[in-house]
Amino acid sequence: MAEGEWEQAPVRKKHLDRNSEGTDDRPLENGMDEEEPNFSDAEDFIDDVTDDELLGDLLKQKPSEAVGIDSVVVVDNIPQVGQERVSKLKNVIRKIFSKYGEIITEFYPEENGKTKGFIFLEYDTIENAFKAAKNMTGYKLDKSHTFAVNVFSDFENYGDIPDDWQPPEKQSFVDHGNLKTWLMDPDCHDQYSVIYDGGETTAIFKNTPSEGVLVEARKRWTETFVRWSPLGSFLATMHQKGIALWGGEKFVQIKRFAHPGVQLIDFSPCERYMVSFSPVLGVNEEPLAIIVWDTRTGYKKRAFHCETACQWPIFKWSPDGKFFARLSSDLLSIYETPSCGLLEKKSLKIPGIKDFGWSPSENILAYWTPEAKDSPARVTLLEIPSRKELRVKNLFNVGDCKMHWQTQGDYLCVKVDRVTKSKKVQSCNFEIFRIREKLFPVDSVELKEGIIAFAWEPVGSKFCVLHGEPPRVSASFYNIKTKANIELLKTMEKKQANSVFWSPTGQFVILAGLRNMNGYFEFIDTNDMTVMNSREHFMATDVEWDPSGRYVVTGVSWWSHKVDNAFWVWNFQGKLLQKCAREKFCQLLWRPRPKSLLDKEQVKEIKKNMKVYTKQFELKDRQNLTKASKEQIEKRQKMLTDFQSLQEYLEETYKGLKEERLHLRGGVDTDRFDSNFEELEDEEEVEFFLGEEITEIDEFEYE
Amino acid sequence: MKPISLLGHERSITQIKYNREGDLLFSSAKDTSPTVWYSINGERLGTFDGHGGAVWCIDVNWDSTKVLTGAADSLCKLWDTQTGKELANFENGSAVRTCGFSFSGHDVMYSTDKTMGRSCEVLFFDTRDQSQLENNSPYMKITAPDSKVTSATWSNLDKELISGHDNGALCLWDLKTGSMVEEIMEHTKGVNDIQLNKTGQLFVTACKDSTSKLFNATTLEHLKTYKTDRPVNSAAISPLYDHVCLGGGQEAMDVTTTSSRIGKFETKFFHMIFEEEFARFKGHFGPINSVAFHPDGKSCSTGGEDGFVKINYFDSQYFEFDFEV
């Protein structure tokens, strides 16, 4: 057997002769049978079996360094005792500290026959060590001994900090380009995001009257859903590992925020901060559930525990993004930015507080508390940060309250369910707070029926209420007159509706019967209270107004309904413009627009010159329309000429096969439908009999 | 347009066909009585009695003398149109799914289902040869390779056969040799129907994947696609205009779980060349299983899962309508 043949010898043998270390080239050759193979490695042999693969089970048992250190706590301020009392001390300490887990080892350093005053305890797990460190710090053993407990690894963590502070290196500025490019569209076409293919594909479209023009489409852009930031600068995509923000003309990635298992997202109204929520529990005591981020730097501002709140958003932001607040039992915690610390370092104690909401325009918040023993239910307007109570309104027989701020912050409506003593809902009141008038006067509107929906006109002073019991639903429109009563504009009866969608610019409103109400829509102009159009998008689940109030989209989302997934684009008058059927369409969101830069004067000026602009736009619309129909016709013409050449060819071949056809059908020409009619000599007459039946009706005789 | 409703069948209609002159309308249903009607007023002329199971398919030859039916009782029967007498009875091991007369009217073909351990076969008989009819001995047999035949038609003046399969495949067979010439996968689900145009040079398919497609019958070249949002059960090409008529709707087994409106049991009209839908009408309260144009192109009939056959004479608007080109 030649030596060379063994050079590629079996791999798994290195460990068999580890002791020989391969120093001897041919350890087995001496005096051995020639048939006995050589087990040692060739010199150029490279072992490709890892230790893990070979003795994985043994390696698992190998103690790791981290386990040892992390589960050790250091306790300071232990009484210094002599030899004779050490065992007694140990008993006391053991008794106190074993509450947090099994103590594996303990070590009492000694000096001059006395304990040094600090000890080391090792717990069975890291978690228990952390628990002990958290709970036992500040434990008073006696008057002069208060424990200070630290996790041993902290010494390492903090010990390494250099004494000289080094200023952090300046990070180079990354220019993401203009994040507002979509606003520079010459025709002011708005954009919208669409998720379809059951979530596989996300696309951004530009809305034009005739069709959606694709801007960007990506596969698996998000794992669940997307969100636009409130001013439209960013598109947030949700992933298992965190959130990504995209923006700019080409939708490049702008920032990433690592938050494993993230499920919910919210932005501050100014876009500066973002809040994310993940139900994944952290290992340590460090909170991970809710994180407040700085969208510009991508840094974590502060993390919070979720506690029990099951409502999203947990944090409600003040309109300028300076404050955010959350509710817990009997407490209202207001935090301020950028520090993300509690405002004035403490939460507001409000016994029984049920709900609160910020005004969308000022730093005022409203909250309500239910009836307690001797005090009535109460709605309070609070100014932040001064914490001044601007207005308190007492209410009686309150079952539940819902607060609705008008989008401009001009009014606050509190819907109050009045109950009788037996807790039966009796009627419903709307308490309307006028924020812009002196002393915040409150008006009340009472409705005896069940309330299905309530919505403020976003710009203006009207609101719409759906009330009644389905299928007998009525829609009532009210108007608030300055320094006068609230006026009922009109009640429309027998409406097939369960939701109200106001145009973002006011005046126009859609009464929608979503889902089980079959997707029935009524487009209403509230200036003269006329129904402009009644249409249907069967089984529609969503309604989305575009930010300009010119278009509205109705959709059947795959998330709630499995067939006919599509979105339809309408104009504000209820004229159907496009039907876009997308396989497994899930969600459509309009890209929000920032507030207009025009001041009131400029808006007035534009309104004054409306006629001039109207003419320009109408001309443009007409041009676009003729262009579109021209394109369509050109397309058809091309299809027609293409097909005609095939038809001509087919016709030729058809003529050529005439002989064959005649042959197959025994000489009868059947090429034309009526080709044989002349040849038929004996005409056949077909008579149809109309059934005739005579039934005599006897008069019934009654006894 | 008010349709004539033909109520005679007790169960779902499976196929309807006009004869060449268009005076007679033949229908088969899941009951056991294939029926012939006067197309002019919807009067029932007679039934062909003898089957013992759902009748899946029906065809009439060009001079309307014979009728061919295939049924779930594994029988394919040849009838005399005028008398309703049974001329031949072909026995098989599994249900007969689709059948057809050749252009000449002499030959017949039918396909059997792939069930009960039987493979799917297409069998050919010459009706002039009594021994073939009596002994149940086809002059040719084609075995479909993997997916069963769900629809088929003679093509190219009896020289070829086009078959549509359960997996969406379309196959072209040479009938001299009995071998497959071409196989294409333009559809993703079962091809429910194949109908030739007037000259037999183009054909239109109806597919469960909610589309219908137009092909060149000689080359199997895919020419046009008509998209809908429901499975298409049947499609026909107008002999008068460049129009295609599609019938279908949500599958009957899914309908009960949803609202009846959601089924979309509508007959839709597409422009054959522009692929644009321009008209549709309702009429059935179940999926439409079969559509057929009258040979003059002035009316069309539909047969539905609801057991009705409806003859629809077109309004004047249909004849006036034209696409802007």
Three-state DSSP at A398 gives strand
Tokens of B313: 């004479």
Answer yes or no: do B216 and A646 touch at CB < 8 A: yes
Question: Tell me, what's the pLDDT at A408?
Answer: 86
User: What distance in Å separates residue B119's CA from the closest CA in chain A?
Assistant: 32
B254/B275 Cα distance (integer angstroms): 28
**Contact status, residue A521 vs residue A539, Cβ threshold 8 Å:** no
User: What distance in Å separates residue A327's CA from the closest CA in chain B?
Assistant: 43
Choose among B38, B104, B239: nearest Cβ to A673.
B239
User: What distance in Å separates residue A214's CA from the closest CA in chain B?
Assistant: 21
User: What distance in Å separates residue A560's CA from the closest CA in chain B?
Assistant: 14
How does B215-254 read in b/e, with b if 16+ C-beta sit within 10 Å? bebbebeebbebebebbbbbbbbbbbbbbbbbbbbbebee
A629/A631 Cα distance (integer angstroms): 5
Nearest residue on chain B to A581, alpha-carbon basis? B229
A586/A605 Cα distance (integer angstroms): 42
Answer yes or no: do A657 and B157 touch at CB < 8 A: yes
Choose among A639, A660, A670: nearest Cβ to B273.
A639
Whether the CB of A673 is below 8 Å from some CB of chain B: the reply is yes
Q: Could you say which residues from 25 to 84 on chain B have a Cβ atom under 8 Å away from some Cβ of chain A? A: 38, 41, 43, 62-63
Residues of B in contact with A643 (CB under 8 A): 223, 273
Three-state DSSP at B83 gives coil
Whether the CB of A654 is below 8 Å from some CB of chain B: the reply is yes
A579/A581 Cα distance (integer angstroms): 6
Q: Which amino acid is at B229?
A: D
Question: Tell me, what's the pLDDT at A237?
Answer: 92
Answer yes or no: do A664 and B103 touch at CB < 8 A: yes
> For B3-28, what is each residue's pLDDT tens digit?
899 999 999 999 999 999 899 999 99
Question: Tell me, what's the pLDDT at A15?
Answer: 47
A301/A337 Cα distance (integer angstroms): 9
Whether the CB of B288 is below 8 Å from some CB of chain A: the reply is no
Of A350, A429, A432, residue with least CA distance to A396: A429
Q: CA torsion sign, B61 to B65 to B69 to B74?
A: negative
Tokens of B35: 């029926």
Answer yes or no: do B103 and A661 touch at CB < 8 A: yes
Question: Tell me, what's the pLDDT at A20?
Answer: 44
Q: Which amino acid is at A71?
A: S
B287/A538 Cα distance (integer angstroms): 19
CA A556 from centre of chain: 18
Of A483, A480, A546, A538, residue with least CA distance to A514: A538
> pTM here?
0.65
Answer yes or no: do A646 and B43 touch at CB < 8 A: no
Choose among A633, A639, A646: nearest Cβ to B324.
A633
A577/B158 Cα distance (integer angstroms): 49
Q: Could you say which residues from 215 to 244 on chain B have a Cβ atom under 8 Å away from some Cβ of chain A? A: 216, 223, 229, 239
Whether the CB of B296 is below 8 Å from some CB of chain A: the reply is yes
Question: How many Cα atoms sit within 13 Å of A353 on the Cβ side?
Answer: 21
A339/A374 Cα distance (integer angstroms): 40
Question: Tell me, what's the pLDDT at A118?
Answer: 87
User: What distance in Å separates residue A693's CA from the closest CA in chain B?
Assistant: 17
- Chosen for mutation from A516, A518, A633, A665 (greatest number of chain B CBs closer than 10 Å) is A665
Which value does ipTM take for this structure?
0.84
A366/A350 Cα distance (integer angstroms): 12
Whether the CB of A539 is below 8 Å from some CB of chain B: the reply is yes
Choose among B21, B38, B62: nearest Cβ to A665.
B62
Question: Tell me, what's the pLDDT at A308?
Answer: 63
Question: Tell me, what's the pLDDT at B273?
Answer: 92
Residues of A in contact with B21 (CB under 8 A): 673
* Residues B232-240, mean pLDDT to the nearest whole number: 94
- Chosen for mutation from A651, A673, A683 (greatest number of chain B CBs closer than 10 Å) is A673
User: What distance in Å separates residue B325's CA from the closest CA in chain A?
Assistant: 5
> For A665-681, what is each residue's pLDDT tens digit?
888 888 776 655 555 45
Of A328, A230, A240, A320, residue with least CA distance to A274: A230
Task: For the beta carbon of residue B315, count every other beta carbon within 10 angstroms.
Answer: 13
Residues of B in contact with A665 (CB under 8 A): 62-63, 103-105
Answer yes or no: do B157 and A660 touch at CB < 8 A: yes
Mean residue pLDDT of chain B comes to 90
Question: Tell me, what's the pLDDT at A18?
Answer: 46
Choose among A639, A664, A670: nearest Cβ to B158.
A664
* Residues B231-240, mean pLDDT to the nearest whole number: 94
DSSP per residue, A541-559: -EEEE-TTSSEEEEEE-TT
Answer yes or no: do B223 and A643 touch at CB < 8 A: yes
Whether the CB of A494 is below 8 Å from some CB of chain B: the reply is no
Flag residues of chain A having pLDDT under 70. Answer: 1-37, 63-68, 281-286, 307-310, 421-426, 673-703
Q: Is A284 exposed, middle or buried (0-12, 13-18, 19+ CB in 10 A)?
A: exposed
Backbone angles phi, psi at B176, to 5 degrees: -75, -45
